[in-house]
Structure 1
Amino acid sequence: MISPSLTSLSTYGEDRSASHLRFLMVAEINGLIRPEIRALIAGLCAALLCAAATPSADAAPSTAKAVSQPAVLSVTQLAPGLYAHRGHDDVATRQNGGDIANVGFVIGTRCVAVIDTGGTAAEGRALRAAIRAVTPLPVCYVINTHMHPDHILGNAAFVDDHPQFVGSDKLAEAEMSHAANYLRVLTRELGDVAAGSRVIPPTLPVHDTLDLDLGSRVLTLRTWKTAHTNNDLTVYDKRTGTLWLADLLFAGCLPVIDGSVLGWLDDLATIRALPGVRRVVPGHGPLRVQWPQALDAERDYLARLARDVRAAIRAGQTMQQAVDTIGVDQRGRWRLVDVYHRRNVTAAYAELEWEQ
């Protein structure tokens, strides 16, 4: 997801950034206890705190106050060794700390792979603390599913782990062309909560597909044609049948086009037909969704958008007329419609007017 306050450098004239952070405090264990035992107890305490803070994977996190101190990110175990944190259903604000994307990690017998790191270095540190509360295994991979800041600006928290940073072979160029703007907007919107956040490009680019072995657990990464962005990537855990779709799937939150509505529809058709998928993780919205119904809802929105924009173009409507009239009934069906729907119409119009 991308913030409405960002000035675009993208194909369709607009780019939105979103980032966000939500933490829980970890009890510090002191006293005359052997260091390794103290670390174990601290981890157990942290895990209990996380569990207490997240009664349901489907419950949206509270945005009662801004969080600006070290903490452990609340996570939910969706399958054995696969954990996720649900971001807020919102744009990035100082109140929510920029924690608006779903992020998580997968544990093998050898090491851990992180899937997206959140919208700030602080959120990344909280995610790292959540990993340490569950396992002492090293982080060997940090996977970024696409370029948007709510998914990548926590990378800095993992630099000292010396992982491979993994992403689409188109990710580095996309990140570098937007990095300065992302960080400028993040600092303006979040203030000191954004401290230490920076763009770290991939060290291991993915062209088409790539398998990552975590030890008795292989993750299959796959890149896609231009859809949500031109650098989308998914992660499939064959052991549990879990497909981490990231922002190729928005659940309840309005899908945001920063790429191609037609490419996205093509990708969704391919994704829906993939064998072995028992569970999917969206980039925004509840961590547990009905499959494939959640994808079908998104597909229907995008297909209707494309159909209505084509009709407007054939009728000779200007872009502004299309923006003012298309999809006015979507309010109430999706969260953040007022923020993103008009932008989606603009993006679709700019793409589809060249079909004629």
Structure 2
Amino acid sequence: MTNASPTTTPASPTPSPLHAVVASDFEAVNRTIVRQLNSRVPLVETIGQYIIESGGKRMRPLLVLLAARALGYEGDKHIQLATLIEFMHTSTLLHDDVVDDSHLRRGKKTANDAWGNAPSVLVGDFLYSRSFQMMVDVGSMRIMAILSSATCIIAEGEVLQLTNIGNPSLSEEAYFETIQGKTAMLFEAASQCGAVLADATPEQEQALKHYGRYLGLAFQLIDDLLDYQGDSDAMGKNVGDDLAEGKPTLPLIHAMERGTPEEAKLIRQAIRQGGLDQLDEVLTIVHRTGALDYTRARAEKMVEKALAELETLPPSPYRDSMADLVRMAIARQS
């Protein structure tokens, strides 16, 4: 790496009490992101900075910081760990947008729309590779084992989602298997690795692993709900994008189960065809069958489970922020 590091600092999420308890740690993560984006190839830095500055909540690195601090960690390797988790997540975004042929993320052009598919995929590969370099620096074989396993499960989840596009016969069980891999797994790994770094007890490590899993599932459930209820400007993407891509998410699965045979047939046809020609009719059915309320209820159940797992941690402002983070995941509108 021969080039000087980028001079601009990635945009931080809007300050909140969740970040306040680890404010100095979070600033250190931002500085580390800038330093680790350094590459002798300018386009790597350009695209890397673009996607990282796109306004994400940085929930996964925040999980690392909060989990480690909640268990009394006083070192500095959690900064490196939080950064590499963010790089892993960012690389999946770059790859996902290419796979989905997306043109908008968080209200901005996607990297593939701005630079093309090939550069986006390759920069995603760079960020994955850089995350493993940083993993070595963290120096924990246990953490490396957790994260290397997580990357395989995440990739499997993405492939599962891809193979189920246009499949209206997807069961609720198979849906949860998919979102556990493609979304919840990195939340789970982030909180579990924070615990490992802090030398947690086996009980605490398992609790934080499950906490991250339930948080990730709740987050994805609300994401899928908002696709049929959200505000396009707030979400930074269009309502109905999942339907346009032929993705059979939980609102549609439930609507097909509760709707009339004619309604179920219409939704199956919409999933097979993709596109938005039948969006209005599908939205009517989704609302009439209570599919959004059902999806929210499932998310709220995940929140209850996540909060219960936090009882294994000693009381602290960090534990309080972890509880608030779960509540925020289902209260959000974007």
Tell me if TM exceeds 0.5: no
Structure with more contact order per residue of length (Cα contacts < 8 Å, sep ≥ 6): 2
Select the structure that is richer in helix: 2
Q: TM-score, normalised by structure 1?
A: 0.30
Greater strand proportion: 1
TM-score, structure 2 as length reference: 0.31
